[in-house]
Every structure is written in structure tokens, then in C-alpha cells.
Amino acid sequence: MEANRQILEAELEREIFTHSQTLFTQTAKSRQEQWIENLVKTTLLILTLLIIFPLILIVGFLFYKSLPILSFEFLFSNPIRGMRAGGVWAPFLGTIYLVVVSLLVATPIGVLAAVYLNEYARNNWATRITNLAVVNLAGVPSIVHALFGLGAFVLFARMGRSILAASLTLAIMTLPVIIASTKEALGAVPMAFREACWNVGASRWQTIRQIVLPNSTSGILTGIILQVSRAAGETAPIMFTGAIFFKALDEGNIFAYNIFDQCMALSMHLFTISTQVPDVPEALPYGTAVVLLGAVLLINAVAILFRVYFRSRKKW
């Protein structure tokens, strides 16, 4: 009896195995779908590499051309001999001032505007016009922002050509990016979170402050990262409102500028030594470009670290 039972179990296992093999055998259609899936994946990988590869080439080329001049002395010394020698301390510090002040102005205004548009504003013609204005403002050329900053801050507000006037111009120019990214981040928070808070008696502002904003911080920081990159690289807005051709500073003093002073900036300094100053050493413009790129990457890296930290604290 035991032998018969074992024989029956073995036959049953063979039948199950045969049936499973037949059940999971690929058909012609499944093989075609798998081939299309692999083709799409390979195509997307190639497109991604085509985007990354030129960036690596550009950065590598800049570093290679700037190696003869890159050093701590180059970073912490002022331009000398008609900007044909020396370093980039004055324009580097000016760029940091412009980016930080514009960030301090644009971030709270942009975030609060996005909170109102996403959480409080009704879906009516006024809200739609406001959203359209934000989108259109993002497409305005930087030279137009420069003329607006010249008229509004330098002349009308009587700020003169200064770091403050240039930073406010950059803040207005980058506001649409912060507003749009913040709206997307707020919209990504599930509505169920809000409804759960309202059901236990929390007010709308309590819900926003305790639930919505903490869970959308990583997306908000993405907009801030984009703001930093654009503000650091712009030339036209600051050229009209606060940047100066040359200004010597106390080397190493991070408080050498006052917000009502004019300042040098890396983007304008790079343009100047590349087009207006003759007999400039070949490595000098490339070194300036690397410092500008490094400053942007440094500020972005700090923002990215904060974004990773807040993203890790998400509850969903």
C-alpha cells in the first residue's frame, strides 16, 4: 500500500509539473511584448546617456583647461593687472550675496503664493488668470526682467545700483519656478491626509502647517535648486541693476560687501574677461567658469541634502 501511494504521489507531481510548464510557456504575443519592452528600455537608456555624456565632456573639458590656474589662491585673491591675473574672490563673493539674498526674498513669497493658489483659492476666472500670469512670467526673457528691475528698484524705489536691487530683480525672475514647483509638490500630497485632519477638527491652516508642508518639502526644495542655478548664471539682470566691472575687496572677508553696494559677479566677470579684456591667459576664463559651476553645485548640494533628509521623513 505504501508503495502504491508513493507511485501515485510521483505521478501527481509529474502531472502538476507538466501542467505548469504548459501554463507558463511564452506565446508568440508575449515574446513580442517582451521584445518591445526591451527595445523601449534600451532606447530610453541610450537617450539618457546621450544627455549625460555631453555634460561629462563639457565639465571635463573645463577642468582640463583650468588646471594650470585652479588653486585656493585663485579663489581667495582679487583680480589684478586689469583682470589679466589674480583670482576671483570679489566676483565669487558677489555671486554668493546675489544668490542668497534673492533666495531669501523669493522663497517665502513663492511658497506662500503657491500655498494660497493650491489650498485656498477657488477655481474661478481670477485664479486661472493668476496661474496663467505665473506661467507667462516664466517665459519672459531675462533682459526684460533687467529693464523692469532698473525701472522699479533702481529708479522708482531709489535703491540705486546695488546688491539689493539686483537680488530683487533675480527674485522676481525666479518666482515662477518656485511657485510652479511648490504647487506640484503640494498637489502630490494625498487629499485623504487633509480630510483626515479636517475630520478630527483641525483647521485648514493647521492641516497645511502640520501635514501638507512637511510632506511636500522635498518638492519645494527642487524649485529652490532650480532657482539657485538660474540666479547664479544670469548676467543681463544684474548688469543693469547692481553688477560692476571691477571692485577690490579685503581678501577672505565674507562680509566685505554691503547690500547697498555694487558688486562683481562671476557670470559678468566671465563675460568681461572673455570679450572685453585683451591678452587674458587662456586658463583664466576656464578657471572662472569652473568656480561658477562649483559655486552652483555647492549650493545645490546643500539643498539636495536637505531634500533627501525631508524625503526620508515622509510617512507615505
The enclosing domain of 292 has a CATH number of: 1.10.3720.10
Of the ranges 107-111, 204-208, 305-309, which one carries the lowest mean pLDDT score? Answer: 305-309
Using DSSP's 3-state secondary structure scheme, residue 243 falls into strand
pLDDT at 97: 92
**What confidence tens digit (pLDDT) does each residue in 71-81 have?**
888 888 888 88
CA-CA-CA-CA dihedral for 26, 27, 30, 31, to nearest 10: 80
Confidence of residue 194 (pLDDT cuts 50, 70, 90): confident
Confidence of residue 4 (pLDDT cuts 50, 70, 90): low
Q: Is the pLDDT of residue 9 over 90?
A: no
Average pLDDT over residues 147-168: 91
Using DSSP's 3-state secondary structure scheme, residue 311 falls into helix
Average pLDDT over residues 231-250: 86
Instruction: At 79, give phi and psi (nearest 5°).
Output: -60, 145
Is residue 62 within 8 Å of residue 286, measured between CB atoms?
A: yes
Q: At what angle do helices 283-312 and 213-233 cross, to 10 degrees?
A: 180
**In this structure, is residue 22 part of a structural domain?**
no
**In this structure, is residue 246 part of a structural domain?**
yes
Rg of the Cα atoms in the chain? 29
What percentage of the chain carries pLDDT values higher than 90?
18
pLDDT at 41: 92
Domain enclosing residue 110, as ranges: 72-312
86 beta partners = 79
**In this structure, is residue 125 part of a structural domain?**
yes
**In this structure, is residue 19 part of a structural domain?**
no
**In this structure, is residue 242 part of a structural domain?**
yes
pLDDT at 316: 58
Provide the domain count of the chain: 1
**In this structure, is residue 190 part of a structural domain?**
yes
- Distance CA(253)–CA(257), nearest Å, equals 9
- Distance CA(223)–CA(200), nearest Å, equals 32
**In this structure, is residue 256 part of a structural domain?**
yes
Terminal C-alpha separation, the chain: 58
Retrieve residue 266's grid coordinates. 562671476
**In this structure, is residue 130 part of a structural domain?**
yes
